[in-house]
Structure 1
């Protein structure tokens, strides 16, 4: 039971109807979004495609700001509309990758047609404020904006989660060592998050080779866990910290999905604890996504799936009229491909992560993601 390890978390029954994946499986393989002709047309001009014919209108905008993920966002959202729509949703996908479309104009047009739920890149924030004020908005990003929610979790979110688990298990004295620069905002979030979790953040070391860094690392003998921040930290920093017994073998590293899987076999990481999106939940739709679109499910596609799952959950609980900005602030949250999540007062996502332990180079489940808040 997780409660003893996460004292900052108090679970309650969810009052909002969640778009739970286990109860939303399709009886047949979903069809890919759009035809070959539509894909060909998209290369020459902006296009709009609609999935579903329900009365609750949801609009997804993709553009050139998401060059490597636009197709995944599109297909993840389309799969959710088919799996979770229950005949009540109509998802319109606006492909603006040619740059010819007017985002504000398209938003105004969609709002005039009855749309009250918008999904898209950070630039969508200003367009919704100008053309559809008061509508619900989910950004495919980690930084929120006024009136909307940002659905992507970042490294700081995951670090706070795994540190909270470690602190709850008795490892409260934690040091952070980073291989990249942390912004002031990231540093503040990390400090406040660990304080809320009951952890004692001894220091944040950005440059271990500097005089200040070396002085901080002299405290390694008294720490109970070490957070490694940055994609190359597991291979570059972890072995150095273990050298000569500076960091005892029984003191674990704490990590996130930022760590590449290729680093898991690093001997210095044996016993490390990672906060990751629950892989069991992801598998619930990965097979259907593979069948529908002929490629593996990406995290981008999962985030877009979840953005539509928010709309589906609201409509189930409150009807079409419930699609508004206030609906995003449900304390009980939503459930989707990435597990259970909700948006705080600022619109930043709070997501339940599973905790994994690295054993012989492979992550094994240590504590499953909680089923609610």
Structure 2
């Protein structure tokens, strides 16, 4: 699976120096807690995106694994035996979780790793097993459909869940999402564009669940910072909605296309065929733009999109390669950050370590992919960079925030 390119930082796995460990893990609430992604929803792909197709078939469950010898038990539920990309991602996330434990100095946690086989039934059984073994909080699962099955068990025991799904509809009381949500991308890029003087916004988005999420966030953000002068959705046919938007672009300052790499390029081509000169308008996108097809498109050169600062993932990837001899999947940082957060909270927060008021601290935490915080409704907010499309890849034009505003 593709990760950010170019730089390969020197790293040494568990032999990191104390200073490097502190920058990678952090120590305290109120100051960012964990350490320093091109997004994401794309890298979640078919195995964890709630907007994709059917889940892969479940395979046989593996024997449960416990990692670490700390007193605080934490459940980690992943589709380890699921077929296809799901199983590949789960194994990489498991490795990243173990790496987080190894890089955290003397963590007082024990990971109870459970295989849900990629099904809600498996997730429910895995959650029951984890809580019966004393888990105080559950990390995972990966699939949106499995989150309610885990939440049911966790709520009955009064413990929280930190899941990896990108579907905000499964978040809720005591169920938090540590994932890359489209809403964060949209808010960041619209706010940045407005800060450069853009006030009139147009958009073309896919007519699917992802597009619906983007639509709600875009109309709210653009309405707050300016006005929406054109908004269209497309499914198979892009020509008709592209013509409708093209007719309005003369009055627009910025145009958002929110889709993955191939579809973004196809939509830009449809706009060009409809008579639009995309060089005359500021193009905006989400983290799905972090894609070689986008970087190779002449129509999208100079376009801006929101994504985590790639330097964090580059450093993480270097340490992961050193330890495991292979590349991590893009979502591996979610498991790393989740485990490192649990270790830090167990060290610093005493009996309230996993309480809702601790998890929803408004100052948030800093992980591999930058600043993040959980909202009380279970969704999250991330501090994202703004990247510019060039033929050599994404180039940062605005860094990730160092703290959350009021």
Question: TM-score surpassing 0.5?
Answer: yes
1:14-33 matches, cutoff 5 A: 15-16=29-30, 18-21=32-35
Deviations for 1:271-313, whole angstroms, at most 9, x for unmatched residues?
Answer: 1112111111112321111112222122210111122233233
Paired residues, number: 339
Cα displacement (A) at 1:20: 3.0
1:195 corresponds in structure 2 to 223
2:13 corresponds in structure 1 to none
**Is residue 230 from structure 1 mapped to residue 262 from structure 2 by the alignment?**
no
TM-score by length of 1: 0.81
1:75 corresponds in structure 2 to 95
Distance 1:246 1:106 in 2: 53
Cα displacement (A) at 1:106: 4.1
Cα displacement (A) at 1:83: 1.9
2:322 corresponds in structure 1 to 291
Distance 1:85 1:133 in 2: 30
TM-score by length of 2: 0.75
1:141 corresponds in structure 2 to 165
1:76-95 matches, cutoff 5 A: 76-84=96-104, 86-95=106-115
1:249 corresponds in structure 2 to 279
> How has the CA–CA distance of structure 1 residues 239 and 48 changed in structure 2, closer, same or farther, with 3 Å as cutoff?
same
2:134 corresponds in structure 1 to 114
Distance 1:149 1:327 in 2: 12
1:25 corresponds in structure 2 to none
1:37 corresponds in structure 2 to none
Distance 1:100 1:229 in 2: 30
Distance 2:227 2:387 in 1: 22
1:261 corresponds in structure 2 to 292
> How has the CA–CA distance of structure 1 residues 220 and 124 changed in structure 2, closer, same or farther, with 3 Å as cutoff?
closer
Distance 1:269 1:100 in 2: 40
2:39 corresponds in structure 1 to none
- The answer as to whether partners of 1:162 and 1:274 remain within 8 angstroms in 2 is yes
Q: 2:366 aligns with which of 327, 335, 339?
A: 335
Q: Which consecutive residues of structure 1, in runs of 5 or more, have no partner in the other structure?
A: 1-13, 23-42
Distance 2:273 2:250 in 1: 12
1:50 corresponds in structure 2 to 66
Cα displacement (A) at 1:86: 3.1
Q: Which consecutive residues of structure 2, in runs of 5 or more, have no partner in the other structure?
A: 1-27, 37-58
2:8 corresponds in structure 1 to none
> How has the CA–CA distance of structure 1 residues 284 and 313 changed in structure 2, closer, same or farther, with 3 Å as cutoff?
same
> How has the CA–CA distance of structure 1 residues 216 and 274 changed in structure 2, closer, same or farther, with 3 Å as cutoff?
closer
Cα displacement (A) at 1:180: 4.4
Specify the SS of the correspondent of 1:58: strand
Distance 1:102 1:233 in 2: 34
1:221 corresponds in structure 2 to 250
- The answer as to whether partners of 1:16 and 1:317 remain within 8 angstroms in 2 is no
Specify the SS of the correspondent of 1:201: strand
